[in-house]
Amino acid sequence: MKVIIRNNSAEASVWAARHIADRIREKAARTSEPFILGLCTGSTPIETYAELIRMVKAGEVSFKNVISFNMDEYVGLPKAHPESYWSFMHKYLFDHIDEPAENIHILNGNAPDLDAECAAYEEAIAATGGFDLFLGGIGEDGHIAFNEPFSSLNSRTRVVTLTEDTRIVNSRFFDNDMNQVPRQALSVGVATVTGSKEVVILAFGPKKARAIRDAVEGPVSHYCTVSALQLHPDGIIVCDEAAVGEIKLNSYKYFKAVEEAEKL
């Protein structure tokens, strides 16, 4: 695992966006196969998406041959609801880049058969040959996508029940009323994410510091599902200074030294 540490979220987001763009361009230079990209929602990736939009508009990267799958979606929230992840992704990314609409995949939280929707999503991912890169954020408890504590680290796309903590945290998007936050979601599993060739996780701000400490220095545990990244050969966590505020000084120095040596 690598931990990239930048002074603030703006610098960290630029690093992440340029890393994703580099990977898209590298693949395009060697094959006409599409680039398979996993994407996330939340306030954390917004600046990364803004930099990707800038790069697309400047002609520095193209999403024409990118196929994307989003991590998760609330159950029962209308697609057009401003807080649906469908709305979020179109507002902050898809409406501004050149990814063809048919290449965009977002779980349908209103499907008549939710289990069938999840199974079809896994099949659609497998049919592409698998993710080249999965971009994710984390919850304050270290959940990845909506894989709450005690989700199996071998989990796949399925219906999940949100914890009260997550519904309280996410109530900031629902008039601070947790009763408006859906109780269930569809979410890719931990294994869906870690099955990607590369995983890039963003974590900014002091509220993520405990989760980052657990993910980086704690055991691999279903209690902090992003800790599964420890078993991944190509996992990167991109943080601002605040998010690494709880790791040991020696760990901090180690990751900084790796960055310096590898000019990341």
Interface with ligand GLP in residues 37-66 (CB under 6 A): 40-44
The smaller minimum CB distance to ligand GLP, of residues 34 and 135, is found at 135
201 binds ligand GLP (CB under 6 A): no
Query: Is 165 considered catalytic here?
Result: no
What DSSP line would sit under 4-24, residue for residue?
EEESSHHHHHHHHHHHHHHHH
Token digits of residue 157: 């796309």
Q: Which of 19, 99, 132, 143 is catalytic?
A: 143
Q: Which of 132, 141, 198, 214 is catalytic?
A: 141
Interface with ligand GLP in residues 153-182 (CB under 6 A): 166
The smaller minimum CB distance to ligand GLP, of residues 44 and 192, is found at 44
The smaller minimum CB distance to ligand GLP, of residues 41 and 84, is found at 41
**CA-based nearest residue to 214, from 248, 258, 242:** 248
Give yes or no for a contact between 196 and 130, defined as CB atoms under 8 angstroms apart: yes
Give yes or no for a contact between 70 and 105, defined as CB atoms under 8 angstroms apart: yes
Give yes or no for a contact between 149 and 225, defined as CB atoms under 8 angstroms apart: yes
Q: Smallest distance from the beta carbon of 74 to ligand GLP, in angstroms?
A: 9
Query: Is 175 considered catalytic here?
Result: no
Query: Is 141 considered catalytic here?
Result: yes
Query: Is 177 considered catalytic here?
Result: no
3 binds ligand GLP (CB under 6 A): no
109 binds ligand GLP (CB under 6 A): no
Q: Residues 10-19, buried b or exposed e (16+ Cβ, 10 A)?
A: ebbbbbbbbb
* Beta-sheet pairing, 198-203 with 133-136: parallel
What are the catalytic residues? 72, 141, 143, 148
Name the site residues for ligand GLP (rule: CB under 6 A).
Answer: 40-44, 71-72, 137-139, 145-146, 166
